[in-house]
Each structure stands twice: as C-alpha cells, then as structure tokens.
Amino acid sequence: MTLNFDVIVVGSYSIDLIFSGLGEFPQLGKDVVGTDFKMSPGEAFISAVSMHRLGITVGWAADFGNDEFSRFALNSTRDEGLNESLFIFHDRPYRRISAAASYPNDRAFITYYDPDPQIPAAISALIKSQARVLYIPGLYSGDLLGVGVKLIRAKKMTLVMDGNSSSGDILGNSKQSKSIRKAINSADIFIPNAQEARRITGESNLDVAIRQLGELCPVIVIKDGSNGSYSYKNNELIHVPAISVNSIDTTGAGDNFSAGFLRAWLDGFPLEICQEWGNIVGGLSTTALGGTTRKITCEQVRKYLKFNG
Ligand SMILES: Nc1ncnc2c1ncn2[C@@H]1O[C@H](COP(=O)(O)OP(=O)(O)O)[C@@H](O)[C@H]1O
Ligand SMILES: [Mg+2]
C-alpha cells in the first residue's frame, strides 16, 4: 500500500543545546556564561514539526539510533503527534548534537554527528510513499541525490530544497562545485538564506546572487532575516518585508519560514503570499528560545494577517 502525504521531509534530527544571554562571543581560554539555556530537537525535526502544526500532512523520513539523544528527539516527535510510518530505527547510537551560542541576530555552533546509515530513511520513504512535495531541509549534493531525483521525477513530486549549509559554492570546476550546481539544478524551488546565497554564488550583491541562482532553478526564494524575503521567478524579483517582532533567538527561523511558505504554496497562493506566510511563521518563531518552542498554527497566521495585513 502506498502511503500518501502532502510533504515528505527527509533528513535527520539533531539535538540543539542552545546557550543564550551571552555577554560576548565564545573565546579560547575564556568561560562565557549565559543567562538562559534550552535543549530542543533541531534540523529536520523543526521543519517536520512546524509543517505539521500548520496542518500539512507530513511524512518525516527520519533515522533514529538507540542512544539517549535519539530517544529525546523521538519523544518530542511523539508529543507532537507526528506520523511515524517513515521512521527507521537502528540498533546503534546515532547521535547528532549541536551546541549553539545564540545571539539576537545570529548564532555560532559546534557539532558532532555519528556516521549516517548507508541507506537512509529517505530512500525507503521515496520507494514506499507518495507526496506532492519532497522537502530537503538543507543543500544536499551527496551521492544519493541522483537516485532520489529519479524517484521524485517518476512520482511527479515537486522538489523543494532549503539552502541550510555552511560550505560549498557553484564557482569553478571542482567536483564539489559541480555537484552543488547539479543539486540546485534538480530542485524546483530553492530556499537559501542571504548569507548562503552570497557564499554559493561568490557574489556579495544579493540581487546579482539571486539572478545567478535563478539560472539554475526556476524558483528562488531568499530569506534575509529582519529584511524579510525575496523571490525570483521568470525574471521577476519580489521583496516582502519581515514582520516586526521582538526577536530573541533565530534558531530555526529559516526552517519555520520554509514551512509557512510551503503551507501557502500547497494552497495554491502566488509567491508574494507564500513569502508573507513564510515571514510570519519565521518571524514569530524568533520570539522564543529554540526552533519549535513557539507553536504557530494557520489560525494564528490568519489572525496576524487580519490585524496587520
Ligand atoms: N529579527 C527578525 N525579525 C523579523 N523576522 C525575522 C527575523 N529574523 C528572521 N526572521 C524571519 O525568518 C526568516 C528566516 O530567517 P533567516 O535568519 O533569514 O534564515 P536562517 O534561519 O536560515 O538563517 C526571515 O526571512 C524572516 O522572514
Ligand atoms: Mg537556514
């Protein structure tokens, strides 16, 4: 029997240890003490949960190990009532941990990841299920992309890729640059943040960066923190300003943006409205510590639009 979803989210959980209220940036030989701390699941968990809360039928293709971090992520998932049919459990530790020094407008990370399973949950999910959208919460250019894209095309799904990444560009002819070009080229919608768009293209001018990305992928959406977001399609650039919020932690803002954007996109709205939804969900998510601490529903977004739109 084929499982049916609006969106299949692929990618693993991580556990974010978020330190905030830090007076200064971390430095060697110095102990910087914060005034607040939160441990919450991050990475693909944020996308899956944020979409689920917005009423999207989500199949999260996720791998878990037998360690305490996997258990923490799994319990948090169960608290949210997410569908578990695409989960794969491994009889070994699969720890994915990130410590974040969080500041009002940005954050610094240190991270540890156990090795990924040879065949990740994403591939099994693509074989046994169907969805309108396959969502990758980061710039994935790994070996499995080719197989994945074949299945995505055969099943007529739309491939939406977030730009989450810390290295890589499309410049030059290195193997990595070629595979990143191919990855962006295989997406139907690509959603990096401004910093990623600049790094990937090597262009400091965001306007030029968007147009360059537009040569690889038909719809580019760029998240730009308190500046809101841009979209670029058929040579048309649209800017939608951010909402005005008292932002305290930007962890997961981009993932929340993408969830809000997709909710509106699935409902058939034009890009400008999708950006508006993204800005509201992304912006509201920054008003609490952690990527999913503030629960945002469609009703709240509609209410926000009614009073502020
Ligand atoms: N300080 C802020 N004020 C209002 N909205 C914000 C703020 N920071 C982020 N957002 C919203 O969240 C979206 C994603 O945030 P951004 O920081 O650009 O992405 P990422 O988390 O990927 O770095 C932005 O496009 C914007 O809509
Ligand atoms: Mg991001």
Nearest CA, atom 18, ligand 1: 225
Q: Which ligand is nearest to the CA of 257?
A: 1
Ligand 1 site, residue 253, Cβ cutoff 6 A? yes
Give me 6's structure tokens. Answer: 């609006």
CA atoms within 13 A on the CB side of 175: 2
pLDDT, residue 49, reads: 98
Ligand 1 site, residue 245, Cβ cutoff 6 A? yes
Mean pLDDT of 163-185: 95
Q: Which ligand is nearest to the CA of 296?
A: 1
Query: Per-residue pLDDT tens for 295-307?
Result: 999 999 999 999 9
Between the CA of 290 and the centroid of ligand 2 the distance, in Å, is: 13
Say what the alpha-carbon torsion angle 40, 250, 104, 97 is, to the nearest 10 degrees.
Answer: 40
Ligand 1 site, residue 242, Cβ cutoff 6 A? yes
Residue 135 neighbours by CB under 8 Å, 6+ apart? 7, 8, 9, 10, 47, 51, 160, 161, 162, 258, 262
Ligand 1 site, residue 230, Cβ cutoff 6 A? no
> 296: helix, coil or strand?
coil
Between the CA of 257 and the centroid of ligand 2 the distance, in Å, is: 9
Residue 281 neighbours by CB under 8 Å, 6+ apart? 50, 54, 256, 257, 259, 260, 261, 263, 296, 301
pLDDT, residue 105, reads: 73
Amino acid at residue number 153? R
pLDDT, residue 2, reads: 83
Q: Which ligand is nearest to the CA of 166?
A: 2
pLDDT, residue 270, reads: 98
Q: In which residue are the tokens 């699935």 written?
A: 266
Q: Candidates 50, 223, 230, 243: which one to mutate for ligand 1, based on the most atoms within 8 Å of Cβ?
A: 223
**Mean pLDDT, the chain, whole residue set:** 95
Atom nearest to 194 CA in ligand 1: 18
Rounded to 5 degrees, what are φ and ψ at 202? 70, 20
Work out the pLDDT band at 263, boundaries 50, 70, 90: very high
Proportion of the chain above pLDDT 90, given as a percent:
90
Between the CA of 298 and the centroid of ligand 1 the distance, in Å, is: 18
Burial class (CB in 10 A: 0-12, 13-18, 19+), 106: exposed
**Would you give the DSSP letter of residue 117?**
P
Nearest CA, atom 8, ligand 1: 225
Query: Per-residue pLDDT tens for 209-253?
Result: 999 999 999 999 999 999 999 999 999 999 999 999 999 888 899
Query: Per-residue pLDDT tens for 5-32?
Result: 999 999 999 999 999 999 999 889 999 9
Ligand 1 site, residue 254, Cβ cutoff 6 A? yes
Work out the pLDDT band at 104, boundaries 50, 70, 90: confident
Proportion of the chain above pLDDT 70, given as a percent:
100
Query: Per-residue pLDDT tens for 74-91?
Result: 999 999 999 999 999 999
Atom nearest to 282 CA in ligand 1: 12
The Cα 227–Cα 231 span in angstroms is 13
Between the CA of 266 and the centroid of ligand 2 the distance, in Å, is: 21
pLDDT, residue 230, reads: 98
Amino acid at residue number 220? I
Residue 66 neighbours by CB under 8 Å, 6+ apart? 89, 90, 91, 92, 93, 94
Closest CA to 201 of 163, 170, 233: 170
pTM higher than the cut 0.85: yes
Nearest CA, atom 5, ligand 1: 283
The Cα 210–Cα 192 span in angstroms is 10
Residue 82 neighbours by CB under 8 Å, 6+ apart? 48, 49, 52, 58, 60
pLDDT, residue 102, reads: 87
Mean pLDDT of 134-141: 96
Alpha helix segments (H runs only) across 37-144: 44-53, 68-80, 121-128
Ligand 1 site, residue 228, Cβ cutoff 6 A? yes
As separate numbers, helices (DSSP H) first and strands (DSSP E) second, the chain gives 10, 14
Between the CA of 63 and the centroid of ligand 1 the distance, in Å, is: 28
Burial class (CB in 10 A: 0-12, 13-18, 19+), 28: exposed
Look at residue 162 and tell me whether its pLDDT is greater than 90: yes
CA angle 48–113–220, rounded 5-degree value: 45
Between the CA of 283 and the centroid of ligand 1 the distance, in Å, is: 6
Instruction: For CA atoms 161, 299, 58, 43, give the dihedral sign.
Output: positive
Look at residue 186 and tell me whether its pLDDT is greater than 90: yes
pLDDT, residue 283, reads: 98
Q: Which stretches of the chain are assigned E, i.e. beta strand?
A: 3-10, 13-20, 36-43, 58-61, 63-64, 88-89, 96-103, 106-113, 129-136, 158-162, 189-191, 219-223, 229-233, 236-240
